[in-house]
Amino acid sequence: MGALSRKEFDAIEFEAALTGDHKSAAERMMVLAMTGTQSESMTRAEAFVRAGEQWLFADNPTAAVQGFRMAIADGGPVDVDPRAPMCRALFQLGSTDEAYALIETMQSEGRTDPRACDLITELLVEQSDLTGALDWATAGVELILQGAGEPAADGGYTGLDDLLRLRYRIRNDLRLPEDEYDRMLTA
């Protein structure tokens, strides 16, 4: 097989979104990840993460976990910590304790990935763990404000407004008073 290509994976994802056939997309991505060679545009670890995400869309959390574990084992650079989407698959499998243990490990290692913070926040909201979700949302906002996020075309940071809104909704559900981050939404 040839070199892994972000463009090829984007095309596979686009086709899966159009057709709804995420299983075929995941299978194709897994083959490419296992047989392709790493390139400047894509690491093998990133290929495994993207395959795992397609397995989630295909409602196959077992295969998704396998893809995320392969990404972790590979250890190459990725766009998002593979443990974050793996937690979603573990929750879907009913492996709640394992998912929470993984979240705790990520927290104890120190959070550095705003996108992973966003994913974990959403997962914890789905699990009705609003206190935990608020902690992760706040960590994500702080990381972005410290420059860990991707700059957006408007001069802000990609994902900051979405994470601020999610954080605000969580704080509202917890009946907490407005704080400095909440006020950033009205500025």
pTM of the predicted model as reported, rounded to 2 decimal places: 0.88
88 shares its domain with 146: no
Structural tokens at position 158:
């990609």
Q: What is the pLDDT of residues 146-179, one digit of tens each?
A: 887 665 555 456 688 899 999 999 999 999 999 9
In a domain, 174, yes or no: yes
Task: Provide the token pair at 169.
Answer: 């909704």
User: Dihedral (C-alpha) 42, 23, 66, 37: value to the nearest 10 degrees?
Assistant: -30
Read off the CATH number of the domain in which 88 is found: 1.25.40
Evaluate the CA torsion angle 25, 31, 36, 40 in order and state its sign: positive
Residue (of 113, 114, 63, 115) closest to 89 by Cα position = 63
Q: 49 with 129, same domain? A: no
Q: Name the token pair of 10.
A: 């984007």
* Same domain? 150 vs 177: yes
Give residue 111's identity as a one-letter amino acid code.
R
Per-residue pLDDT tens digits for 12-47:
999 999 999 999 999 999 999 999 888 888 999 999
Q: By C-alpha distance, which of 32, 35, 34, 43 is closest to 8?
A: 32
Tell me, yes or no, whether 69 and 131 share the same domain. no
Residue 101 inside a domain? The answer is no
Domain contains 32: yes
Where in the sequence is the domain holding 129, given as residue range(s)? 111-187
